[in-house]
C-alpha cells in the first residue's frame, strides 16, 4: 500500500473514531455503564468490541487527526 493511501486510511479511521467518541460522550453518564452505551448506542451503528472501544477512547483523536490532515495538505502542494 502506498504512503498516500495509508494516510487516507488513517484519516478515515480517525474520523470514524471521532464519530464513535461523539456518540459515547453524548450518552456518557455516571449511572450508565460503558457496556450499556456500547450495546445500545454504538454497536448497532459501529459493530466493535469492548476492547476496541477502550482503544478508541484512549486515542488522542483530535491531535492525530490535525497532524494527519496537516501532512495531507503538505503533500498536495
In a domain, 43, yes or no: yes
pTM for this one?
Answer: 0.81
In a domain, 28, yes or no: yes
Please write the tens of the pLDDT for every residue from 20-69: 999 999 999 999 999 999 999 999 999 999 999 999 999 999 998 888 88
Confidence of residue 6 (pLDDT cuts 50, 70, 90): low
In a domain, 77, yes or no: no
In a domain, 61, yes or no: yes
In a domain, 26, yes or no: yes
User: How many C-alpha atoms does 68 have within 13 Å on its Cβ side?
Assistant: 19
Which residues constitute the domain of residue 58?
3-72
- Residue 49 backbone zone (phi > 0: left; psi -120 to 50: alpha; other: beta): beta
Higher pLDDT, 33 or 76: 33
Number of independent structural domains in the chain: 1
C-alpha cell at 63: 491531535
Amino acid at each position: 500500500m502506498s504512503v498516500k493511501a495509508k494516510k487516507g486510511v488513517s484519516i478515515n479511521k480517525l474520523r470514524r473514531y471521532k464519530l464513535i467518541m461523539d456518540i459515547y460522550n453524548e450518552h456518557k453518564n455516571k449511572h450508565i455503564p460503558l457496556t450499556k452505551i456500547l450495546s445500545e448506542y454504538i454497536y448497532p451503528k459501529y459493530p466493535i468490541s469492548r476492547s476496541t472501544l477502550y482503544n478508541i477512547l484512549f486515542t488522542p483523536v483530535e491531535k492525530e487527526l490535525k497532524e494527519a490532515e496537516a501532512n495531507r495538505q503538505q503533500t498536495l502542494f
